[in-house]
Amino acid sequence: MITEHDRVQGAFIRESSEYGEPIGPEELTAAKWKAIVSNDSKFDGRFFYAVRTTGIFCRPSCKSKPPKRGNICIFRHAEQALSAGFRPCKRCKPTGQRLPDEDWISVVTAYIDRYYMQPLNLETLADVSHGSMYHLHRTFKKLTGITPMAYIQQKRIEHAKELLKHSTASIAEVGRLAGLSNLSYFITLFKKVTGHTPASYRQLTKQNREESTNGESS
Ligand SMILES: [Zn+2]
């Protein structure tokens, strides 16, 4: 499966652009960095900055929280950022157009898919996707049928199930690796979602494997 991350990274491998310039990032100079952290609108139109961790690109004046310097790519033209796989920011609209809700939510789900094992909450997601918590919660639910937090927990439980099936990591370690480092919360949530405790789930899948003649389980 090609992830959003691969798509963004892969795009940098392509070399040419319609401008005949390298499509890859330009240098992040001290002046550009200063423009980004001070939201300096004098630089709007002179360059755009994209953030690798979120897949979003912005105008220098964007009022969003400044990203980590090491995660930034600079593009001369918005089209270059687009063809490198970045999506325009919902807040500063670097292409001049409104970002469709579907694209905005794709940014958020791609971010969750990459970082669900880390501490995440609605505020973090709103920050990285450049929207308000309220609007994000509402739009996410409208488009996917579940809330962002439920989606995160779903990813974590899926990961935990895989680890319980295919690794010998302790239950606490499985929880930690899946982003649920509070052990009692992990056990409670896991049981609520799957009907089993992590330990009994592991036991069950092990039994199923042993009973299966060719040694494969579903
Ligand atoms: Zn922006």
The predicted structure's pLDDT at residue 66: 82
Q: For residues 156 and 14, give the distance between their C-alpha atoms in angstroms, rounded to a whole number.
A: 34
> How would residue 119 be classed by pLDDT, with cut points 50, 70 and 90?
very high
8 and 84 in a single domain? The answer is yes
Q: Which of 39, 66, 88 is the last residue of a domain?
A: 88
Strand partners, 88: 57
The predicted structure's pLDDT at residue 19: 47
Structural domain includes residue 51:
yes
Q: How many domains does the chain have?
A: 2
The predicted structure's pLDDT at residue 118: 94
Residue 12: both structure tokens together = 């940098």
**Ligand 1 geometric centre to CA of 53 (Å):** 14
**Ligand 1 geometric centre to CA of 105 (Å):** 15
Other C-beta atoms lying within 10 Å of the C-beta of residue 78: 20
Cα angle value 178/182/183 (rounded, 5°):
85
The predicted structure's pLDDT at residue 210: 85
- The residues assigned a catalytic role are 58
> How would residue 7 be classed by pLDDT, with cut points 50, 70 and 90?
very low
The predicted structure's pLDDT at residue 24: 58
| 127 CB burial (10 A radius; 0-12, 13-18, 19+) | middle
Q: Which of 68, 88, 108 is the last residue of a domain?
A: 88
Q: What is the CATH number of the domain that holds 57?
A: 3.40.10.10
* 87-111 per-position pLDDT tens digit: 999 999 999 998 999 999 999 999 9
**Ligand 1 geometric centre to CA of 88 (Å):** 7
Q: Residue 77 sits in which domain range?
A: 4-88
* 8-12, 29-33, 149-153, 158-162, range with the lowest pLDDT: 8-12
